Amino acid sequence: MTGGPLWALSGARIKQFLREPGALFWTFGFPLLITVALGTAFRNQGPTKSQIAVVAGPGSAAAVSALAGDPGIKVAILDPESAARRLVTGEVVLIVLAPSSPGSPFVYRYDPSRPDAPAVRRLVDERLQRQAGRRDPLPTRDETAVAKGARYVDWLVPGLLGMQLLNGAMWGAAFNIVNARQRKLLKRLAATPMRRSDYLLSFRVSGLVFVPIQVFVLFAFARLTFGVTIHGSAVATLALSLLGSWSFAGLGLLCASRAQNSETANGLINLITLPMMVLSGVFFSSSRFPAVVQPAIRLLPMSAFNEALRHVVNDGASIFAQGYPIAVLAGWALVTSVVAVRIFRWT
């Protein structure tokens, strides 16, 4: 026996994929390159130093010596004009004007709408007050703890996995189907007694093979290069990835259900993927969008996937606490698949 048609079609799909170096690169290699590029560009560089200026004058030298020892700030002595100009351009956060006669006040000039300005003001003030003799009545001690999964790269990797799965469903499956329709291969298959659902299902079966590999390769690479770890369950991560890929595959099938040529398919795929890349928090958090659109954004399959996966991977949350995003993903998978199969064109 040669085995059933579904397994034969799935096997053929896997073989074809492995024989196409371009597809291999975009599926497995490209996300690794993005991880390296963005992980490096946005790596945490230790505590950042804020630049402040002390305006040259009688008391400036004393002020500089008081401030120079602080790890959080960099100090420069500037004339009033260039200090003012740099405050406008944002190169300095705060300007200190030392009093020309004793008893007059120190002046701090800064823009309070800059996020770091109030903190820098407090820092500078404390340094100068201490030098002038202030003592703290309460003893204190610091204990630092870096939160797990809190770096940008930790946050980025789950989003990249979502992007990778979406691209796989779109460029791997949808584009492939439209191409087969354009080349009349679908028509040839439709002229055989092949069960039509077997052809469509073969894309999902091959996905069952590729998705775990994608998940493993990306997280293994991210761990080796940036020490990214999965704080929740690895099984939950894989299960979410499979669910996400089903949901994206439904969208892909919908794109592919009627498009007659690859140009149309190209347009449809971009129409679906590009907005989700921006809105669904792949590269930056979707919380930056106004609150009024948040419920709509949360309904996108990519947002749901990223939300659930980040909770599991970054926060170590349980998959059973992700009911809403899982429902969103399952809903998309079901609705898109049913509609796509209904309107699918073989000729």
Q: By CB under 8 A, name the binding residues for another protein.
A: 2-5, 8-9, 12, 15-16, 19-20, 183-185, 187-188, 190-194, 347
Q: Nearer to another protein by C-beta: 14 or 62?
A: 14
Q: How far is the CB of 183 from another protein (least distance, A)?
A: 4
Strands (E), the chain: 50-55, 73-78, 94-97, 107-110
Q: How far is the CB of 266 from another protein (least distance, A)?
A: 19
Q: Nearer to another protein by C-beta: 3 or 102?
A: 3
Q: How far is the CB of 246 from another protein (least distance, A)?
A: 24
Tokens of 261: 């040529």
Q: How far is the CB of 253 from another protein (least distance, A)?
A: 19
Burial of 211 (0-12, 13-18, 19+ CB in 10 A): buried
What CA–CA distance (Å, rounded) separates 113 from 117?
7
| Buried b or exposed e, range 293-315, using 16+ CB within 10 angstroms | eeeebeebbbbbbbbbbbbbbbe
What CA–CA distance (Å, rounded) separates 289 from 4?
49
Tokens of 209: 């093979």
How many CB atoms sit inside 10 A of residue 171's CB?
18
Tokens of 241: 């990835």
Q: Nearer to another protein by C-beta: 55 or 265?
A: 265
Q: Nearer to another protein by C-beta: 2 or 100?
A: 2
Q: What's the chain's length in residues?
A: 347
What CA–CA distance (Å, rounded) separates 273 from 300?
11
Query: Quick check: helix, strand or coil at residue 322?
Result: coil
Tokens of 50: 């804020």
Q: Nearer to another protein by C-beta: 16 or 65?
A: 16
Q: How far is the CB of 208 from another protein (least distance, A)?
A: 19
Q: Nearer to another protein by C-beta: 194 or 341?
A: 194
Q: Nearer to another protein by C-beta: 2 or 144?
A: 2
Q: Cβ(49)–Cβ(26) under 8 Å?
A: no
Half-sphere exposure of 267 (CA within 13 A, CB side): 5
Q: How far is the CB of 180 from another protein (least distance, A)?
A: 8
Q: How far is the CB of 22 from another protein (least distance, A)?
A: 11
